[in-house]
């Protein structure tokens, strides 16, 4: 079970998460505002990942990038919780969230590539895998099934390992020799994401195919 599914089950049964969502609503936040904040924080993380390449304060720049990825995960999680807590779930909101999520994924990976942590071709393979795994899950719903979140690597999993790798890389920047050349620890994680995202897309495809 992916972290996406675990988080989903946990949040649906967690009163504290709903209280946080209600508190956000009282302060004027709406689900769409949180979705927009998720997009903005992802874009900012990409900027700081890219800036880490030439920054004199490499460690700090990477840590700030990791913080923005964590904020993206927070806002992405709570836009749906807020919508349910305030009985404000709409098709437009769902559509907006998923479009923004894909842009967020692209911003983060492009930032890591531009920061010199991984080669462009490997980053492109990772990006395609991330987009395809999401597409297959949503396309299953489009043909009459439920939205498929299963597979070995969901979005929450990706964000968690990127956050962890970013923090590790901030303090251990020595390059790692791999079959793909010299990679930073963060770059190595992108290689893992590239493989597991495509595997997830295949798993979701097989599941949906069997259900049709």
User: In the prediction, which pLDDT does 13 show?
Assistant: 64
89: helix, strand or coil: coil
CA distance 80 to 24: 12
DSSP state letter for 194? H
- pLDDT, tens only, 67-117: 999 999 999 989 988 998 888 889 999 999 999 999 999 999 999 999 999
Tens place of pLDDT per residue across the chain (212 aa): 555 666 666 665 667 778 888 888 899 999 999 999 999 999 999 999 999 988 778 899 999 999 999 999 999 989 988 998 888 889 999 999 999 999 999 999 999 999 999 999 999 999 999 999 999 999 999 999 998 988 999 999 999 999 999 999 999 888 888 888 888 999 999 999 999 999 999 999 999 999 99
Map out the domains of the chain as residue ranges. 3-211
pTM for the whole structure: 0.92
**CA 168 to CA 209: how far, in whole Å?**
39
**Which of 25, 164, 53, 161 minimizes the C-alpha distance to 111?**
53
The class (CATH top level) of 3-211 is mainly alpha
């Amino acid at each position: 079970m992916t972290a996406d599914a675990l988080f989903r089950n946990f949040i649906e049964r967690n009163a504290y998460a709903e209280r946080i969502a209600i508190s956000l609503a009282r302060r004027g936040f709406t689900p769409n505002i949180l979705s927009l904040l998720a997009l903005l924080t992802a874009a900012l993380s990409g900027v700081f990942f890219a800036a880490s390449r030439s920054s004199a304060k490499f460690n700090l720049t990477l840590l700030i990038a990791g913080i923005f990825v964590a904020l993206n995960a927070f806002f992405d999680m709570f836009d749906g919780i807020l919508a349910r807590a305030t009985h404000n779930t709409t098709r437009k909101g769902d559509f907006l969230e998923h479009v923004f999520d894909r842009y967020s994924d692209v911003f983060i990976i492009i930032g890591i590539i531009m920061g010199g942590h991984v080669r462009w071709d490997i980053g492109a393979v990772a990006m395609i895998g991330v987009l395809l795994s999401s597409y297959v899950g949503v396309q299953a719903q489009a043909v009459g099934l439920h939205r498929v979140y299963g597979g070995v690597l969901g979005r929450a999993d990706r964000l968690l390992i990127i956050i962890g790798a970013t923090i590790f890389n901030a303090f251990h920047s020595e390059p790692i020799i791999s079959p793909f050349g010299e990679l930073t620890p963060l770059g190595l994680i992108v290689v893992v994401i590239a493989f597991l995202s495509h595997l997830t897309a295949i798993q979701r495809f097989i599941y949906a195919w069997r259900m049709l």
